[in-house]
A and B are shown apart, each in its own frame.
Chain A
């Protein structure tokens, strides 16, 4: 190894580590500040039970706050989304996935901040949305920022985004291994040593900040000894299957709600306010649906905290209101609501089960936890992450294995029914289909115009066949592009079709008008699709106005494909 190589290795290790630590610290602190700000708003706006009980002597005030705070919060969220976010929607994990998967442009920092503010107002005013989606985007945003530094590192942006996400999840759940796996499982979608090392550093940084410096409380602490009977694993599997059905219902409800709001409420900025008002009305009756519902999550792990009918009612209400809040434009995630709906459904399953199958069992707590992770893992497409969250928070093998069984069965079914996750469905709606792997997504995001060539033969409309023939022979080409005075492409003249044509015939007369062409938006993937059955030298690429910009030889399309795939394989298999 020569000195330059050694310098390069030392430089790379030092810079990658520093970037991972810096992004980890920024994401972790931002995550803590975000969560604390939500609590502060919930207390000030009389959303949290802790604040509501302290104004117990003013029931009118609590009722007015329940009705008005989500509605006014929704109005502010609607205005922010309309006027401050360029994309006119809340930015979420799918945007982080896309930024990490492709090297295309990402939403701007201003949009990211505005989206975070909208999420903060949504959660602060009690909307039934999750906090982890915005946290993931926040982490990705810090990672993306570091991508602008000219550090001369390959794959810097995607790794830094994964670092930010890992630190945010590690901080939020006090679960560094889950953070590390989430970043790989959901964001990067591959495992490589080059990404693994910095993402691990960032996840550990997030954990140290959350757990050691700030001593953040865990999401839940559950006392559970062990699964008493082996046949219960069948019951966990069945629960997983039922959770897959519930996850499907959840996703369908989200889409339906979005369609309904677009159809019936004209100004987009007013939609969240309507959802807020609906939420407030229902919350007067069922306050558990307000906000993230951490108290409800805890109650679900206590035997007999709920009646069976209460559990069923809250599951339905939470599912419906979350779908309404998100579909109508509140900004937030789906993970927290999925955890809550899942744990309540699990508690319901665990409570009803002994009546349906009267055999000894281990009590409802394990079923509640299984329901929580089975449903959430299907919705966000992160089975390993959710299993690890249970393990890291409880350190209980029996509980983790039970959760694993439920998660596996839930994911097998939900994958077949609706795909890998809600995030993938959202990306597919935006034209990025990740179901065929990263290759396709990247091929779809890379424009073929990057491979444009100026090596082609031009013919004017008034030129004769002989002139064009001479030019083609001289240039050793078989095709000429016929353009008018404005360089608008009119057709293609092929050498084999003019060999026997009279010399003084106008070239435009023998030009092929119906020919294969690319435009400025054509991606590498789409160009390969277009090239099916294509016979010729090169495909012309035209502007929106039809102007000829250049040609893309068939060889260039194959070269583009090979370069991208090679780059991907290298990224996925390279060492640190």
Chain B
């Protein structure tokens, strides 16, 4: 670590550690010397907007370090390409936990010192405040999100869809289906619609027979699929009427409905629970600032601030206690969280081990299915 960076890091760590002991977690001291621009790879749209308000702007205000964002839509290919280019331009990346796990195993990420994490305002140490397995050597898991199925209310004036099975029922609920062009969630929903219980999905998808069954189920809606790539698209496809049902991130659908007034309803049946984590790409020259940012963004008050802007659950217990009304619209946030009562009844807990170790297999099957 170079001299100025070390100075900034030490100052920030000292400030944050002090804040941890204090009741109200005061903001970090401004950077003493040579503030730089920190580049964060993240997901755009309303999610990035919530990050901007909860993390980026307050961080810049506190430290003078500017935050620049670059688009990132998940997976490890983008990170691989970035590292392969030879020039380290990304300093922090917001990754799906299973992707972060793969990237960590493949040496694409810097290690993160858990000592940078700040205790809760009541003094609870981070390891007791964060949910289990959130603190990892290469990444810190920060939010719980879910990928859900949603529909345009106006598309179905009579009977409303309410299950994953309905997503595959083109007869009762006609119209296009928007799906992410990635082998994430597709196979799970396909088998879930065949009445396989969520807890057995990954065991069955571990067999060629399970993957074959899922592929056949997807065949039944093949002609009606519209593919999306970025997180903002599903809500837009529903709003425009191009799709009647879509899969997407619950926070984006929440934002579209509560902030933009689009008539979107979420089907919580079969929601795919996932986690996002902060990580530092290998080779960044600003590792100290990156750690300082992660320490700041994982503070209780900052995580709660984001949860009051978009309906993703924080991974810290102390932050969950501070979830209340939407910062702008005064809508109660808790009923829109993936973990709200009733939403978890048939939730799919994404198996991160399975995901991280079946990347090639899933891509192979997905590619073969697309080309069929």
Contacts and interface: CB of A to CB of B under 8 A. Distances in A.
Interface of A: 48-50, 52-54, 56-57, 217-218, 221-223, 287, 294-295, 298-299, 301-306
A302 B206 contact: no
Q: Which 7 A-B pairs have the closest CB atoms?
A: A53-B206, A54-B357, A49-B206, A223-B195, A50-B206, A49-B207, A221-B197
Given A56-B358, A302-B195, 16 more contacts: A50-B202, A50-B206, A52-B206, A53-B206, A54-B354, A54-B358, A217-B199, A217-B200, A221-B195, A222-B195, A287-B207, A295-B200, A295-B203, A295-B206, A298-B200, A302-B196
- Among the interface residues A57, A287, A298, which one has the most CB atoms of the partner chain B within 10 A? A298
A301 B209 CA distance: 13
B12 to A, nearest CB: 39
Nearest to B196: A298
B111 to A, nearest CB: 24
B204 interface: yes
B203 A49 contact: yes
Contact of B213 (A52, A54, A218, A305): A305
Nearest to B195: A223
Contacts of B360: 56-57
Interface of B: 194-197, 199-200, 202-207, 209-210, 213, 216, 353-354, 357-358, 360-361
- Among the interface residues B199, B206, B216, which one has the most CB atoms of the partner chain A within 10 A? B206
Q: For the complex, would chain A's binding face be called helix, strand, loop or mixed by DSSP majority?
A: loop
- Among the interface residues A50, A54, A218, which one has the most CB atoms of the partner chain B within 10 A? A50
B239 to A, nearest CB: 34
A515 to B, nearest CB: 69
A287 to B, nearest CB: 8
Nearest to A52: B206
B199 to A, nearest CB: 5
Contact of B204 (A56, A299, A304, A306): A299
A305 B209 contact: yes
A528 B205 CA distance: 63
12 contacts: A53-B206, A54-B206, A56-B361, A217-B197, A222-B195, A294-B203, A295-B210, A298-B203, A298-B204, A299-B210, A303-B194, A304-B213
Nearest to A54: B357
A282 to B, nearest CB: 17
Contact of A50 (B195, B196, B203, B361): B203
Contacts of A56: 358, 360-361
Given A217-B199, A298-B196, A53 B358 contact: yes
- Among the interface residues B199, B209, B210, B213, which one has the most CB atoms of the partner chain A within 10 A? B209
Nearest to B357: A54
A301 B361 CA distance: 25
A287 B209 CA distance: 11
Nearest to A53: B206
Nearest to B211: A53
A364 to B, nearest CB: 13
A217 B196 CA distance: 13
Nearest to A224: B195
Contacts of B209: 295, 299, 305-306
B207 A302 contact: no
B171 to A, nearest CB: 17
A406 B113 CA distance: 63
Contacts of A301: 195
A495 to B, nearest CB: 80
B213 A302 contact: yes
Contacts of B210: 295, 299
